[in-house]
Amino acid sequence: MAPTVDVLTSELVVPAEETPGGAVWLSNLDLAARRGYTPTVYFYRPNGEPGFFAADAVRDSLARALVSFYPLAGRLGLGDDGRVQIDCTGDGAVLVTARCGAYAIDDLMGEFVPCGEMRDAFVPTAPSPAPNPPCVLLLAQVTYLRCGGVVLGLALHHSVVDARSAAHFVETWASIAAGHDASAQVQPCFEHKLLAARPVPSVMYDHPEYKPDPAPSHAVVAANTYASAIITLTKQQVTALKARCAGASTFRAVVALVWQCACRARALPPEEETRLYSMIDMRPRLTPPLPPGYFGNAVIRTSTVATVGEVVSNPVGYAARRARAATSQGDDYARSLVDYLEGVDAMNLPRSGISRAHLRAISWLGMSLSDADFGWGSPAFMGPALMYYSGFVYVMNAPGKDGAVALALSLEPESMPEFRKVFADEVARLAI
């Protein structure tokens, strides 16, 4: 049942000081990002202190954070050439306060899964013409729960930020709210020309992830047709899994097991091709690396393909090695992709769901929850508020559990019960 939330206030928060005007040019990777908002939620337990997430404190700290991150107070616009850009208008970000008497924080954490109902309750919706120009780029909602706890819901436009940039903004905002010196934070860099195409484009690789699936063997599942779940792996389980995937990172090992179990749960024929899609943060992989505060989209889509039989009949280490093949690209691959996007309509790439045989995995590992402490304690949970379609999986650090990993995933409703069973069986075997 959808939670009932009563909106108390809704306003535009402008930067606390005068900020630059003009336009911010967006790279081909920005244009190729999904055109829409990424909704996330942060759950905070009440700490008994006066002023806990008081509206004035949240508003004032947001206004101060928008001084450095001033493009977020602007609007998505169009240049004279029709290319999408950020118009630095200073019109402000949306801030909503709301109340939900139906939930205490523990109730919510016990029932929460990423879905439309939760997104609609705890993350504000952009007014028309969202998500297309001209539209707001940042929306935030503070929802006060029955127990005194708080849900902070955010919607950031994906044409402007990727997950790393979003985390950078939230960390800075939280630090300001907690009373720390804003000038001590890593400053954002909006020089997107660092990811411009080369004067003479050179496409040296195929980039199938940016092309429509030529002949999907299964119909693409409707965007809203999925079941979602949040599953936690303990530190010991992660360690045991990695031991079976020699040399694999946590992300690759976990995704390998999810991929294997999803193929089984979906009862796909052995000869079926299954593709594992992923996203790679290219900031440290470029030559030279991007500045630490690069603010924009610096991730690229990659993938690897195998038959279902190969994925399910081999030990999990096989799928981990295939996952490595999808997440090992460097500077030359990224530059080839940027050049490829220069020759296509990057603003209108295929962005629908994926075939029922495939999986899309994204790493949010390393985006520390403790860095979202607004002065009243770290969040008890952080994660996506919505899954875009079936076959999506986020791998995240589990809150308050050093070394544990949380999965937020979506599958077809008919596949999810079997996935839970198969996955639980495989995890139980890790202890053997």
246 burial class (0-12, 13-18, 19+ CB within 10 angstroms)? exposed
Q: Rounded to an integer, what distance in angstroms lies between the CA atom of residue 51 and that of residue 60? A: 13
The answer to whether 253 and 426 are in contact (CB under 8 A) is no
Return the structure tokens found at 319.
């799928």
Q: Rounded to an integer, what distance in angstroms lies between the CA atom of residue 320 and that of residue 328? A: 12
**Strand 227-233 relative to strand 299-307, pairing:** unpaired
Annotated catalytic residue 158: yes
Return the structure tokens found at 91.
């019109």
The answer to whether 123 and 153 are in contact (CB under 8 A) is yes
Q: Rounded to an integer, what distance in angstroms lies between the CA atom of residue 266 and that of residue 357? A: 8
Contact residues for 87 (Cβ-Cβ < 8 A; gap 6+): 23, 74, 75, 76, 77, 134
15-21: long-range contacts (C-beta < 8 A, 24 or more apart)?
Answer: 15/63, 15/66, 15/67, 15/70, 15/73, 15/90, 15/92, 16/60, 16/63, 16/64, 16/66, 16/67, 17/67, 19/66, 19/67, 19/70, 19/73, 19/88, 19/90, 20/70, 20/88, 21/88, 21/89, 21/90
AA letter at 344: V
Give me the catalytic one of 157, 158, 192, 358.
Answer: 158
**Strand 227-233 relative to strand 405-411, pairing:** antiparallel
Annotated catalytic residue 373: yes
Give the largest CA-CA distance in the chain: 63
Tell which residue, 279, 250, 254, 260, has the closest CA to residue 388: 279
**Strand 405-411 relative to strand 392-397, pairing:** antiparallel
Give me the catalytic one of 60, 91, 120, 373.
Answer: 373
Integer-rounded Cα radius of gyration of the chain: 21
Q: Rounded to an integer, what distance in angstroms lies between the CA atom of residue 394 and that of residue 364? A: 7
Catalytic residues: 158, 373
